[in-house]
Structure 1
């Protein structure tokens, strides 16, 4: 795995770039990596500068102001934007700033922050920032060098395994798998429809780069996959829990992780992906769900989602009587479906089901008898009939 893009040190090129932008804008310019470390800063005569910038230059890191959570929100705003962002001041002695993200394609590499000159920044100043961001991206990618190429090669190898593309022998070499490997796939995704895709991918890759040199990461759609190659399940679980805690803190948003079973067969990678995707489908839809889950933790919910998928693909498999029961309840305001569901949930215990429904037991018994008469659903025959009915009502 690779380090932060400034791993190779900061050259005079970035300092010259910062000076060039500051000469146009009139205020001090700093170039930072994703850890808020100052990679370079301008030093032209008479540039506007404030105490916060001076502290950042001296410490080579932007001061973290714990009493100003808005500071981190500003960083997230800049990284999410496609152009220059004008930012309000956060303290009385702070000067106005404009900032832009440094990107390679969709991958964020860092940020550029400019203190505005004596007059508000105009289109020329914004153009200087945008041009500077493009040049800074080229510089930072060059300093990534061989380490970034290796990371990209490992990411491509893992993605190929997950989608069933490419040879396993080549992937084994590119991933540096031990013999025999002990493969566990982790998958990370945001809760609900949170738009964290690019940030989650970057934050996850950076976290695992610091935790494990052997782990490989790859992003497909909204999910970030991490392959652990030599960790027993308990260790993988512990690493996953730490990763979720770190990612939630970094992104200030809830993240879920799914952990696959462990195998030594590299050809099972597509199956492991299907397994963790099914887990995430359940846990990311539940705001109160488990932060880290294996299949055994949420098996029933995963199974129900697969049954629901089959019924959606093949609606003719649905019992017509159950569909009629639901339509009857909807149009005539009856409670047959709720009564049957409560009775089945209570494993046939009339008293318990009646208490849940707050009706008399005799009322419930009457409703259950009427279900067969009205809809042709046999609740008292074969257990499989009750199971089929319960599944369809639950879904």
Structure 2
């Protein structure tokens, strides 16, 4: 069947179902059309079509179950591939599938997943040309259908997304950006950032799905919000809200979206500003906070600069030490090298003493050594590495360098 010549797509939802049936007639197995959130928009219903429990659950719940961690990788692979992908099964009861991304130009809209019928593959297991062509034609026609069903409100959201991205990059006059974003003159603006917390061996949700879910969330809770993405962060511009309201909305977003994706998220919000031209500065502030809060499990889920000031300051100092190595105290470098080569503990001892603000009893207890042992190590650190620990400025300099290299 030549899908390219099928009279499908006139803007009605029934035609996505007809499209799924047309693809299934060629590929042989059950076909599902999904959006970027893996919601099942349409599915085939041909008599006798092969179907497994995963497909049945997806149809009944109108949402593909997220039972296997590897599923996210498969979706990323399909959305990144230029053509059809044959996807390996993840369970003993799962049937082989082929999938293709639905795109409008470079804009991803969703995916089509087809269970491979007996005639869909050759003896080597490769998809036959007719089945591959049916999936590609189906994806092209599904894109037209999905674009036609986009409302003017969605198109407006995309226009605001582009306008906010330009404003964050400092592109174009602020007055033009204010007009494109529909903001009143001198509106009090706050920038919010959302990003997944970095976890060892963890897998963040695809940014395109997080961004789409975030856009829907903010459209529901604060219709004037503008949402865009850059890097690994979703940015939200809020107008005329006080810090308490921003924090409350950020907490709701973190809880809702984190639960949706099963991934811990962090939110950071900037100080308020009246000038849209300050958005690049507000973005830097938000990025600084997220750099700190996404790095540790104990960091606050929602933070402004006052919540993360110490971490942000230390991160900038670490950047300066990396950029200008000559700023490092040579004695600290020598002490760390000595510990590494001789298996000594001078750096740990000095750090513990500085952390305890010179309290030998507290520092020695933390190190699990006798106070006299700690006093000896401190004396030897002074002698061997030229550390004048009686000078408060030197103590601060040494502590910063040791703290940042820990």
TM-score interval w.r.t. the shorter chain? 0.7 to 0.9
Partner in structure 1 of residue 102 of structure 2: 102
Q: Deviations over 1:162-195 (max 9, x none)?
A: 1111111011111111343221111122222745
User: Unpaired segments of 5 or more residues in structure 2?
Assistant: 1-9, 122-126
Residue range with higher mean Cα deviation, 26-35 or 132-141: 26-35
1:298 aligns with 2:308: yes
Q: Any residues of structure 2 matched to 1:1-395 within 5 Å, and which? A: 10-11=12-13, 13-34=15-36, 37-42=39-44, 46=47, 48=49, 62=62, 69-70=67-68, 74=71, 77-78=74-75, 80-81=77-78, 82=81, 83-86=84-87, 88=89, 97-104=97-104, 107-121=107-121, 122-123=127-128, 124-144=130-150, 146-192=152-198, 194-195=203-204, 196-381=206-391, 383-395=392-404
The change in CA–CA distance for 1:51 and 1:350 in structure 2 (over 3 A counts) is: closer
- Give the Å deviation of 1:69: 2.8
- Give the Å deviation of 1:40: 3.8
The answer as to whether partners of 1:18 and 1:41 remain within 8 angstroms in 2 is: yes
SS at match of 1:144: coil
The separation in 1 between residues aligned to 2:74 and 2:261, in whole angstroms, is 12
- Give the Å deviation of 1:271: 1.2
- Give the Å deviation of 1:388: 0.9
The change in CA–CA distance for 1:219 and 1:54 in structure 2 (over 3 A counts) is: closer
The change in CA–CA distance for 1:392 and 1:48 in structure 2 (over 3 A counts) is: same
Q: Deviations over 1:263-305 (max 9, x none)?
A: 2232221111111111111122213432222222221111111
The separation in 2 between residues aligned to 1:221 and 1:106, in whole angstroms, is 17
The answer as to whether partners of 1:74 and 1:87 remain within 8 angstroms in 2 is: no
The separation in 2 between residues aligned to 1:75 and 1:386, in whole angstroms, is 49
The answer as to whether partners of 1:30 and 1:113 remain within 8 angstroms in 2 is: yes
- Give the Å deviation of 1:153: 1.8
The change in CA–CA distance for 1:63 and 1:40 in structure 2 (over 3 A counts) is: closer
The separation in 2 between residues aligned to 1:89 and 1:356, in whole angstroms, is 49
The answer as to whether partners of 2:57 and 2:64 remain within 8 angstroms in 1 is: no
The answer as to whether partners of 1:79 and 1:100 remain within 8 angstroms in 2 is: no
- Give the Å deviation of 1:258: 1.4
The separation in 1 between residues aligned to 2:358 and 2:132, in whole angstroms, is 71
The change in CA–CA distance for 1:289 and 1:147 in structure 2 (over 3 A counts) is: same
SS at match of 1:244: helix
Residue range with higher mean Cα deviation, 347-356 or 119-128: 119-128
TM-score by length of 2: 0.82
The answer as to whether partners of 1:107 and 1:202 remain within 8 angstroms in 2 is: no
The change in CA–CA distance for 1:286 and 1:63 in structure 2 (over 3 A counts) is: closer
The separation in 2 between residues aligned to 1:321 and 1:91, in whole angstroms, is 61
Q: CA RMSD in A?
A: 3.0
The separation in 2 between residues aligned to 1:335 and 1:392, in whole angstroms, is 16
- Give the Å deviation of 1:218: 1.4
- Give the Å deviation of 1:315: 0.8
The answer as to whether partners of 1:26 and 1:118 remain within 8 angstroms in 2 is: yes
